[in-house]
Structure 1
């Protein structure tokens, strides 16, 4: 083809047009012959297809790009032709053209026709419609991507699930299983394949689980609990979810998700055993046990209470505890309402018939739902029963303390002799035995060591058996090294017949964290997390109060130009995101020692803590403005916004916080007359 055109170039222009028209019109492709000029390209000929589809009629022949085509098309196509002229090599590209309200994609090749001197004198453009091919490729790519995404979602659910996931066919045989299955029950995927799920179930569970399986095959998902056998023979508890697998509308199997709840069930069984034991204690103990609400009304009482005080259970419910107090007001206010532990106290109580008895009473604040406190009484009227009663009371107390949510620790000679489960968890232990025998100082943070030593010294040296310490906040070291806080109250007790100290801890770790968060929010702008006006004034005040006139620092007052229009046009959500981006750019434009503050709205203040001269301030100000002038992309919207800035310098523009900010604000007012600029405060305009 190239040789043909080289020979054609030796003929006159009229012959070229005649020959090319006959050749072009026989082609289905859109063909255009362009003549290369110094700064443009001129249409020499176009075939019938180009005339019909591209609109290159006879009126365009002899004209340049600029004379016959739209500026947008010239801007796109002309660089392609120039590249062909420069490199004298063909190029191929795709372009989208709107024809008859339909977007079509054309593949165009530009072929240079080079003279014997090596000059590109003509360019032959051949375009063909590839819309259908491109659309077909796009559909295939989209379908491929959807298949890949679907496969990835399945793999995430199946192989990355923390629970056991498996697939059964319609006959109940394993088809597939993730690695968690092997971890939980010991069988590999290969060992399970082609085996029935029934082989993993105890005989007593097979009939029930098979019915659930058959329900799922009918189209209903099913959740249930059952047991399964580990490969080594252990019985495990599981919570199962069965989901039908449908292919072309037909159920071909099920997905199964199994969660190992063995530990949970073991705990539930143990808790049930404890509950039964406590119920036995409640019903059959010789000691009176009762619970109180926050008003001091008796909620429940055990049978021993009826025998001890002469009231029936029906009479006791709703009865105020003052009915059995000799000195009701002082004792109830001191013991229950103040939330203090009182253990094994010898007190006098009044019976229904008006007579009094001496009892050993223990009072424990619970604060659980309606229950405000729990109390136990042991009748010690007969002196011979005192020692036995004390032992039973201590055992009952320990059982009750085991269930209390507050951490409780008993220590003797600075060594832990008892912790309840709540305290074990609080200090990071796996079980109570892990903490018994440990020195208390290993678990006390160094910041609290001296404080606790003084409190323990005071407590142990006191001759008052009822001596207790006031609540105070302490820091503790968990076994994993992390630090927690608790409010601690300590009292002298007897433990296993020997003197000891019992401390009740109230976890205040989250409270301390919350207080720190509140303190942070008090000095920070909640939207941008910059310092707020209050904190900025505090920082600037401290700097001004140093009265170091040899030291120069600057206050920069910024305001975004036309921010309100952008906020109104795009909404507050976009406006808020824009303010966050502005804040980040301001921070990255200043030094680490400087302070950026959001005053409110679209106003910001920057403190340059130390500048050597005015020129250094200018450099930072220009850096800030340049950064803020860059394009913003907020929720797929491209925004450009400028800012204005007023600057005051210490000490020449003021020696107080109020004056420096006011003068910077005045300078900002001057800068906003021009916009996108900064101005220094000038004394003659004040």
Structure 2
């Protein structure tokens, strides 16, 4: 016992000495590292002071450039545009930070150099400008130059605005003691200022932010860099003088002092080695026990981290262990399920099969169990599980139960089902489907793609972007891919080209498929041949605008064409004529021979009329046997009368029926645009009255509407 006590005391002393040595090594490393850190921060602060000096120097240089121009305006009481341009050109040649130079008598911009690209600034009222007005008023109130911004310029870009009030110099008074003349405004290129100060360098060893818009220092807003730098305690802060105000700079250095990491890690490594050696000696006598404890702890932690349920049973198949994942899977407490037969964890309909399977496993211990079962969770939902089990042996190698894992495959099974449905839809869809990779290369197409385009999968898989045969799709798809990356969806109608060279209209939708990180992984194109739909729409449109019997334009289309022709007549200064007529003798013919013959006669007349007029003219049926001819461009009244004569001759052309030559006549009323009206309704009314003048004389012929 005494020997054991001395050994324990010696181990305790050794442990204390080893840990003390480790602490001393870490403390020494920390002190040296702190010294390196302080020296390194001093060097970085010196570098930042240089950046500040360059920033102030570049800014003051740009601000002082225009002093001569201001003095000349104050002394002369103004400046001519020629002198202004000469002075400004010299200043701009010397200093590239000046975006432009403007003079604003009475606060309104009148002179600007260079003018090109700055036209939008001329005439700008600086005092009442919603953005720049505040700085202008501050300048007037203080009577001193003001540096505002950075601001977005009207002509584009971002700049600091240096405004200087200009007071005239009296002949017998001190300089600039006279009345207020206006101001000089000089935008200073903000990005150029950063370049001269060295703040735009990609390898700058700092992260830098600036605040103090309009020279308000720490009270102003952050206008460049990350605003969070001002919240960090380790950040350097320096004031930058800008005229009568200031900016505040915050910066954090990238990296850490050279050698500090090596020193710290070296000290920690040495301390760790000392401590490890000490602890190894101290725990030597307890190694076997500690290994067992650590092994058990490791297995427990692994079981807690697994998403699958580890389980163990005894020889009677009672549950002796369930992993923590059982609660996540079933919603049941682990303790309530221990010491129960393992089969009772399963769905009632699967328990008999489970008992049979485990009995066979006990009889054939070298065989593994890999089988699907179901469970019912605490919420009453059925979940699918895959069970893999094997015989558990004791220290002597004899069977002592089973060990296994229960994996939740519910979502996997549902996913497989959804994938099967998607695959069937892909194969059987009547719409064409194309799957692209992230670079726009075709990965696969469905059978409907080949039916629509005539191209097989082998011909298009592996090509880039456009599997639809070119045509209008190539240019349209270029814009569609850009829209797809921004909005994840695009839809439109295009003209595709089949393999045989024939074109077809199609509706196309593109959908982006992104991975878990949000990056574009695939895109899917779904398209349909809409030839029949287009034809149907065209038929509907034609029926809406044309007479169903004769195919001639109806009143709706006649009105539309009248509006177009009237616009051209007004523009070009020519006249138009409208011929309104019905068919004399049509009613007796219809009554005698029947409606079918009457319809054939109307179609016959329509074809005769179309043969006699120009393509630019319109023949319309506006009633049962009433027709209108719109002459969109007419030289003289005689032109309209010649057309009327041709119409009468065309209408009189006999129509053969059952060996008879059926004939009818026409009475035509003529109205002129704009003499008889400036609307279609007015012209038709006037022509209608003129037509009845013809009928009053005995029918057949034409009559001009009265003035």
TM-score when normalising by structure 1: 0.41
Greater RCO (Cα-Cα under 8 Å, separation 6 or more): 2
